[in-house]
Every structure is written in structure tokens, then in C-alpha cells.
């Protein structure tokens, strides 16, 4: 009877095969690890690994579902904690779904509610050579750490869509063709010009001379573009021409101009990069020039006083002081005017005046009728416009005409050679040989 009142102990105990009624498991912190730049076909997406499984009943996790979904679909495309993107994913976003679970044999309910991550960025196709280009704004660059070339990558996938947001994955590799004894120069990483453009640029410069092949890389590996590389030549800065500031005339860098000089004569030294103010200018090693010859920041040289021997115009790097280019010239004659001479002994007076100042010049030393190196008018043109005391007039030479009492003259405005009776009054310019 007592047994009937209290019940049989075996009938009150839970059978071992029965589940315990409790609470469904939960999960939080579901996420996809951030990729380097926008996701590309071939990338592997990973779940963050920081999900927090929770079961208030203390039940252990058992066979939770971890799946990947495309553009919010209900049907998963893969399972697991990682997923390699395929061509079918291009144009879609991906989500990682986590359905927490416990052992259904011992807990009820065993399956929780699926939690999905925030969607990834839209998956992009890989750049293809058919639509992607690699160009250089110029193939020849002055090696002066100032002149530049701009390398441009335009990346498109097989659907002709811009491949954007991958600047951190791109790089430029340089291989030396010639020069660069210290090794290939470091190249900057390309930067996207505008969000969503798929156009990436890098500005390249160098202070060393040589030639390199530049190859773009994706994740340090091959990148499909056309052409696959660009050859860039870094050339030494050079003097391209010299020219009088007044009566400009282009003389080549090997012409030797000027060989004639006079006080305040000015000529310009032109550089291959047409950027004279980027440098420190010097004469015979002295920045900005010397007492006999000076040079300004624009490469304009001024002859102040006579100087024999070669003179060297130097173009230096402003920071290091290294000489990047130079131009040498040697004056062989220095000219000075003597004012107006009028009188019955015109030529003789001029000759006497110059006898202590070097002497009267010859016709060839004043002009040969053409703009050329080796004579005063040929190098400097109309001397009356030089502002150094020369007049729009003819000047005596030391050479006698075929008839006694007549000497040659040169008009230093036109370069025209003629002659006149010695008694006539003309202008005088003395020449000092150097």
C-alpha cells in the first residue's frame, strides 16, 4: 500500500534515451573577415572566427550549420568557414550564415535561429588583358628627381566592368635593363584616381641614369594587362641650346658659343627638361657665378669682364649639390666701344685709340654676314640693341682696302661689310684678344 501511495522509484526517474526540454542555442558576432580591397574572383572569404555560441542550458555545440549565400539567397552555395569565390559570384555579394546547434539526442530544441553576416562588397571579376591597359605618359624621363612619367593602369574584367578598390593589392616591379648600378629604383604603389573608376596611376621619377622595365603586379603575382610592361629610360639632364637673350638665335650645345664678349652680354642656357629654376646654377664651381661671369636662377649668363680660358656653367641638384649638366665656352675676344670719332684722320685716330686697348678688329672678327659662331655680329646680332654702348652705325676695322687711304668697315646693326676713306668719321670698337 505504501508503495502505491509513494509510487515506484523506477517509474519516476527519467529514462536515459529521453531529451531534456530547454532553450534553443544562439550565436552572435557572425561576420566575414575583411578582405584586402574589394573581393575578387579567386579570393577566399573567411568567417571571422569570433562568433559567440551560447546555450543557456549549458549544452555543448554540436554540428552547427555554417554556410555561404549569394546575394541574400535562401539556398546556400557552399558550407564551411571559408569559401573560394568563383566566376559565378561576380556581380554578387556574399553572406556567411551560422545556425547554432546542440546534440538533438540529448537536447530539445537542438537547432537555433540562423544568423547571417553583413553582406560582403560586390565580387569583381579579375582584370583581363583584352580590356585592361598599362600606359606611360612618356618613355623618356630626365634623371633629376624632378621630371616624371605617369604610369596608368586601366583595369576591366571580362564583362568590361571597372575593377575597382584594389589599390592595396597592386604594385609595380622594376627590372634593370641598363644603368642603375645601385639596383632598380623603388616604385610607388598605384592609387585609384577616383572611387569606382578602375583607373590607377603612379608617378615615377629618379635621380639615377638607366633603363628599367616596369611590370604591374596583382597580389605580387601576374596581372593581365596590355602591354604587360613598360620600358622607361631615365636620361641625364643636358643642355639643349644656348642663345643670346637679345636677338635670340639658337646655337647648339656643342657650338662653343660665345667666343666673343662685351660688358653685360647675356645669353641663356636651355635645358632638356625646360625647368631651369629647379636647379642651382654655378660658374666655375661658384654658385650664382663669379665676378667675371654671373648666372641667375633661370639660366641666364651675364658676361661682366674679360676672362681668358674655358668657363664652365654648371647645373646642380639643389639638395645634394651634384652636378647634373654643364656647358663650357671660351672667349677669344673681348670688345669695348670707344664712342664717336670725327675728323680728317678718322681711321688713324681710331687705330691710335685702340692701340693701347688690344687693337682694331678685322672684318672676320666683326662679321661674316651670317649668324654664326666666331664673330661679334654673327653671335650677338644687332649690337645697337644690346644696350652696351654700341650704336646703329658702322665701325672701323684694321683691314685696308685695295686702294691706299681706304679701310673696311662693318655695320654692327646689319652685319654689312663696306669701306670708306680714312678721313671719314666712324665709330670704333676695340678688340682685346684673350
Cα 353 to Cα 291: distance, rounded to the nearest angstrom: 27
Which CATH number does the domain housing residue 365 bear?
3.10.100.10
Q: Any bridge partners for residue 230, and if so which? A: 214
Whether 1 maps to a domain, the answer reads no
Whether 4 maps to a domain, the answer reads no
Do 379 and 308 fall within a single domain? no
DSSP assignment letter at 253: T
Do 227 and 157 fall within a single domain? yes
Q: Any bridge partners for residue 430, and if so which? A: 336
**Residue that terminates a domain, selected from 215, 235, 255:** 235
Do 423 and 342 fall within a single domain? yes
**Residue that terminates a domain, selected from 330, 347, 363:** 330
Which CATH number does the domain housing residue 303 bear?
2.60.40.1080
The three grid cell numbers given for residue 128, joined into one nine-digit string: 583581363
End-to-end CA distance of the chain: 147
> Whole domain around residue 189: which residue ranges?
127-235
The residues, any chain, with a CB within 8 Å of residue 313's CB and separated by 6 or more, are: 269, 281, 282, 283, 295, 301, 326, 327, 328, 329
Whether 13 maps to a domain, the answer reads no
DSSP assignment letter at 161: -
Whether 179 maps to a domain, the answer reads yes
Q: Tens place of pLDDT for every residue, the chain, 434 residues?
A: 333 333 334 333 444 455 668 899 999 999 999 888 899 999 999 998 778 899 999 999 999 999 999 998 999 999 999 999 999 999 999 999 999 999 999 999 999 999 999 999 999 999 999 999 999 999 999 998 889 999 999 999 999 999 999 999 999 999 999 999 988 999 999 999 999 999 999 999 998 999 999 999 999 999 999 999 999 999 999 999 999 999 999 999 999 999 999 999 999 999 999 999 999 999 999 999 999 999 999 999 999 999 999 999 999 999 999 999 999 999 999 999 976 654 446 899 999 999 999 999 999 999 999 999 999 999 999 999 998 999 999 999 999 999 999 999 999 999 999 999 999 999 999 999 99
Do 102 and 199 fall within a single domain? no
Cα 125 to Cα 158: distance, rounded to the nearest angstrom: 7
4: enclosing H helix or E strand: helix 2-6
Whether 163 maps to a domain, the answer reads yes
Do 251 and 225 fall within a single domain? no
Is-above-0.85 flag for pTM?
Answer: no
Measured from the Cβ of residue 173, the count of other Cβ atoms closer than 10 Å reads 14
Q: Which of 182, 223, 185 minimizes the C-alpha distance to 204?
A: 185
Whether 67 maps to a domain, the answer reads yes
Do 224 and 256 fall within a single domain? no
Do 337 and 325 fall within a single domain? no
Domain count, the chain: 4
CA distances from 127 to 66, 151, 224, 313, 336 (A): 31, 17, 6, 51, 71
Which CATH number does the domain housing residue 179 bear?
2.60.40.10
Whether 215 maps to a domain, the answer reads yes
Q: Evaluate whether 346 touches 395 at the Cβ level (below 8 Å).
A: no
Do 136 and 200 fall within a single domain? yes
Do 259 and 230 fall within a single domain? no
Strands 260-261 and 333-340: parallel
HSE, CB side, 13 Å, CA atoms: give it for residue 251.
26
Do 132 and 230 fall within a single domain? yes
Cα 391 to Cα 206: distance, rounded to the nearest angstrom: 50
Do 231 and 148 fall within a single domain? yes
**Residue that terminates a domain, selected from 285, 310, 330:** 330
Do 61 and 103 fall within a single domain? yes
Whether 368 maps to a domain, the answer reads yes
C-alpha of 406 from chain center: 64
Amino acid at each position: 500500500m505504501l508503495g502505491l501511495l509513494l509510487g515506484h522509484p523506477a517509474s519516476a526517474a527519467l529514462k536515459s534515451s529521453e531529451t531534456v526540454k530547454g532553450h534553443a542555442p544562439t550565436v552572435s558576432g557572425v561576420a566575414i573577415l575583411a578582405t584586402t580591397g574589394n573581393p575578387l574572383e579567386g579570393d577566399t572569404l573567411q568567417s571571422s572566427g569570433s562568433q559567440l555560441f551560447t546555450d543557456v542550458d549549458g549544452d555543448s555545440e554540436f554540428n552547427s550549420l555554417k554556410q555561404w549565400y549569394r546575394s541574400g539567397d535562401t539556398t546556400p552555395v557552399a558550407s564551411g568557414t571559408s569559401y573560394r569565390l568563383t566566376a559565378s559570384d561576380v556581380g554578387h555579394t556574399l553572406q556567411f550564415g551560422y545556425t547554432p546547434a546542440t546534440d538533438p539526442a540529448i537536447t530539445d530544441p537542438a537547432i537555433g535561429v540562423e544568423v547571417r553576416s553583413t553582406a560582403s562588397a560586390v565580387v569583381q571579376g579579375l582584370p583581363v588583358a583584352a580590356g585592361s591597359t598599362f600606359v606611360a605618359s612618356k618613355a623618356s624621363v630626365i634623371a633629376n628627381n624632378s621630371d616624371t612619367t605617369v604610369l596608368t593602369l586601366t583595369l576591366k574584367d571580362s564583362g568590361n566592368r571597372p575593377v575597382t578598390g584594389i589599390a592595396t593589392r597592386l604594385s609595380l616591379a622594376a627590372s634593370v635593363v641598363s644603368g642603375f648600378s645601385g639596383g632598380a629604383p623603388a616604385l610607388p604603389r598605384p592609387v585609384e584616381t577616383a572611387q569606382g573608376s578602375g583607373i590607377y596611376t603612379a608617378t615615377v621619377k629618379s635621380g639615377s641614369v638607366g633603363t628599367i622595365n616596369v611590370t604591374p603586379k596583382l597580389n605580387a603575382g601576374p596581372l593581365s594587362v596590355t602591354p604587360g610592361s613598360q620600358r622607361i629610360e631615365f636620361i641625364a639632364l643636358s643642355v639643349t641650346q644656348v642663345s643670346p637673350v637679345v636677338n635670340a638665335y639658337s646655337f647648339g650645345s656643342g657650338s662653343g658659343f660665345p667666343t666673343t664678349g662685351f660688358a653685360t652680354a647675356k645669353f641663356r642656357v636651355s635645358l632638356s627638361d625646360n625647368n631651369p629654376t629647379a636647379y642651382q646654377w654655378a660658374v666655375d664651381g661658384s654658385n650664382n657665378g663669379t665676378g667675371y661671369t654671373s648666372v641667375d636662377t633661370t639660366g641666364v649668363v651675364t658676361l661682366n669682364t674679360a676672362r681668358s680660358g674655358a668657363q664652365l656653367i654648371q647645373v646642380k641638384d639643389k639638395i645634394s649639390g651634384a652636378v647634373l649638366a654643364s656647358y663650357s665656352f671660351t672667349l677669344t675676344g673681348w670688345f669695348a666701344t670707344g664712342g664717336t670719332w670725327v675728323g680728317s684722320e678718322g681711321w688713324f685716330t681710331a687705330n691710335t685709340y685702340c692701340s693701347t686697348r688690344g687693337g682694331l678688329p678685322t672684318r672676320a672678327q666683326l662679321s661674316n654676314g651670317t649668324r654664326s659662331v666666331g664673330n661679334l655680329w654673327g653671335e650677338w646680332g644687332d649690337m645697337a640693341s644690346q644696350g652696351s654702348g654700341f650704336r646703329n652705325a658702322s665701325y672701323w676695322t684694321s683691314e685696308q682696302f685695295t686702294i691706299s687711304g681706304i679701310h673696311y668697315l662693318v655695320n654692327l646693326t646689319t652685319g654689312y661689310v663696306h669701306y670708306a676713306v680714312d678721313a671719314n668719321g666712324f665709330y670704333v670698337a676695340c678688340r682685346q684678344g684673350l
